[in-house]
Amino acid sequence: MTVSEPSSNQSARDRAYEWVRDQIISGTLPAGRFLDEAWISESVGTSRTPVREAFHRLNSERFIDLLPRRGAQVRSVTTRELEEVYASRRLIEGHAARALCTVGAGAPVKLPALATAMEDAGREQDWFTVAKLDREFHRAIVDAHGNSVLVELYDALRSRQQRVAVRALQIRPQRVPEIDAQHRAIVAALADNDTELVTTLLNEHLRPIPEILAALD
C-alpha cells in the first residue's frame, strides 16, 4: 500500500488526519477498531492534541464515531453510503462527460496512462493504489469540463469515494478485469464524442453491485 507522504508545511493536525484516514481507507484500521491516541501520536510523530483535532474531522466525514467514555471507533462502510456516493458520482461525472462530448473535446489526455497504471496495480492487488488512481481517472473527466464548482463538489467526495472503492474491491476482487475494460470503453466513447454511449457506460460502471451491497449488510 502506498499512503500519502507528509509535506514539510503540513500542520500536525493535517498529518494526523491524513495518516489515520489512509489507514482506514486501506483497511489497515478495520471497521470496529478503537483508535488509541497515544499510539497514533507516536506513529505520526506529534502530540495528542492534533490527534484529537483530527478525530473531530474524521468524525464529521463519517470515518469514525466518537463514543462517550469509549473513544474513537472506525465506522463501517454501509450500503446507504455506497449507494449515495455512487449516485453523487453519476450526477457529476455524467454531466461532465456529456458536456465534453457535446463540445467535441474528446478524451482527456491523462486517461489512457491512468487506466494502464490501474491495471498494473490491480494485478498486484494493491487496492489502495487502485482506488487512488481510479479517483484520478474520473476526476480528470470532471476537471476537463472546467466547471470549478463541480470540481469542488467532486473533491468533497474524495476520501469517502476512495474508501468505498477499496471496500468494494476487497469484497469482489474478481471484478478488476471488468472494471479495467469499462475504463477503456469510457476512454474510447469520450474520444469518439459519443454522448449516449458514454452516459450508458458511466451508469453501468457506477452501478452498485448487489453482491457487494449484500456483503455490507
**217 residues of the chain, pLDDT tens digit each:** 544 544 445 799 999 999 999 999 998 999 999 999 999 999 999 999 999 999 999 999 889 999 988 899 999 999 999 999 999 999 999 999 999 999 999 999 999 999 999 999 999 999 999 999 999 999 999 999 999 999 999 999 998 899 999 999 999 999 999 999 999 999 999 999 999 999 999 999 999 899 999 988 6
From the centroid of its chain, how far is CA 76?
A: 15
Find all residues with CB under 8 Å of 182, minimum gap 6, and list them: 201, 204, 205
165 vs 181: CA distance, rounded Å: 17
Structural domains of the chain, ranges and CATH numbers in brackets: 12-74 (1.10.10.10), 79-216 (1.20.120.530)
140 vs 146: CA distance, rounded Å: 10
Give the chain's end-to-end CA distance (angstroms, integer): 27
- Single out the residue of 149, 156, 140 nearest to residue 100, CA to CA: 140
133 vs 119: CA distance, rounded Å: 10
DSSP symbols for 132-151: HHHHHHHHHHHHHHT-HHHH
Strand partners, 72: 35, 66
79 vs 165: CA distance, rounded Å: 13
